[in-house]
Amino acid sequence: METVISLAKVTAELGGRPVLRGVDLTVRTGEAVALLGANGSGKSTAVRAAVGQVPVTGGEAALFGSPVRRFRDWARVGYVPQRSTAAGGVPATIREVVTAGRLGRRRLRPLGRADRAAVDRAIGLVGLADRASDSVDALSGGQHQRVLIARALAGEPDVLIMDEPLAGVDLDSQQVLARTLRAQLERGVSVLLVLHELGPLQPLIDRAVVLADGRVQRTVEHPGRLPETQTACHPPTDPEPSARPTLQTGIL
Ligand SMILES: Nc1ncnc2c1ncn2[C@@H]1O[C@H](COP(=O)(O)OP(=O)(O)OP(=O)(O)O)[C@@H](O)[C@H]1O
């Protein structure tokens, strides 16, 4: 199985402070990996290092076997950053924003029928087909999030990297995302998600990696197959495990 995303002993600093302190993370073809951890533990920085948006001060970040600093095949990567909006101050419809996600695949050709079909498919997958001609300015926060997910899907990438895709998204939309990701995984797409809780995505996750203070605190293989007590995020010696949050339900 090809290694799609690899962080090997990655360190990174922001504002002069160490934020990643030797993070190891591997996502292989067709795997879904969740990055969990408390606020400020370094999850977003880790995924931003994986896509070359944060410089790595030690160790190595690689995509599809190439060091990120030399990686050029960005059409293979669909990235949904945290808490961004699809509206850049310029009025645009949902279809226009999602079409932008197709540009990397298109190269210098004009948009063809296959491109338009991929855009419509992506909009349909996130349940916004009836709103495709609406301005993104008129959308709620959760609907914005869905547009950004559709934009990433439209490029038919080989890996989807999503930073908190469930944030501000209602339960129905979370289920839509779970179904969408399942279909992508079945096609062999790899998925890396930053999450606060696994929620409806739990059955899809092959590996949950918990960060604490810029380090990997623990890794749980197939968290969906474990009873909740075994995925609890507390040391085994903790006298009151039931009072602590778990991977399944807790805010980590
Ligand atoms: N631009 C920045 N300049 C300085 N420090 C930063 C910057 N961005 C993030 N940090 C710090 O880096 C640490 C890790 O931040 P990061 O956003 O990676 O955490 P996170 O685990 O994704 O948190 P959350 O769950 O709140 O999104 C935090 O202490 C944060 O304050």
Looking at this predicted complex, what is its ipTM? 0.95
Element at 48 (helix H, strand E): helix 43-50
Written as one string, the DSSP assignment of 203-248 is: GG-SEEEEEETTEEEEEEESGGGS-GGGGBSS-TT-S-GGGS-BTT
Closest protein CA for atom 1 of ligand 1:
14
Tokens 């623990």 correspond to what residue?
218
Residue ranges per structural domain of the chain: 3-87+157-243
Q: What is the pLDDT along the chain (252 residues), one digit of tens a residue?
A: 799 999 999 999 999 999 999 999 999 999 999 999 999 999 999 999 999 999 999 999 999 999 999 999 998 999 988 866 555 566 789 999 999 888 777 666 777 888 899 999 999 988 899 999 999 888 888 888 889 999 999 999 999 999 998 887 888 888 888 988 999 999 999 999 999 889 899 999 999 999 999 999 999 998 876 555 444 444 444 444 443 444 443 333
Closest protein CA for atom 6 of ligand 1:
14
Closest protein CA for atom 2 of ligand 1:
14
pLDDT on residue 120: 95
Q: Which atom of ligand 1 is the closest one to the Cα of 46?
A: 18
pTM over 0.90? The answer is: no
Measured in Å, residue 13 CA sits from the centre of ligand 1 at: 10
Residues in the ligand 1 pocket, defined by CB under 6 Å: 14-15, 19, 37, 39-45
Closest protein CA for atom 19 of ligand 1:
40
pLDDT on residue 232: 44
Measured in Å, residue 44 CA sits from the centre of ligand 1 at: 7
Measured in Å, residue 53 CA sits from the centre of ligand 1 at: 13
Measured in Å, residue 40 CA sits from the centre of ligand 1 at: 5
Q: Specify the pairing of strand 207-212 against strand 190-194.
A: unpaired
pLDDT on residue 129: 93
Q: Which atom of ligand 1 is the closest one to the Cα of 15?
A: 4
Element at 95 (helix H, strand E): helix 94-100
Written as one letter, the residue type at 193 is: L
Written as one letter, the residue type at 212 is: A
Query: What's the CATH architecture for 3-87+157-243?
Result: 3-Layer(aba) Sandwich (3.40)
pLDDT on residue 82: 81
Q: Which of 10, 21, 45 to mutate to test the pocket of ligand 1 (most atoms within 8 A of CB)?
A: 45
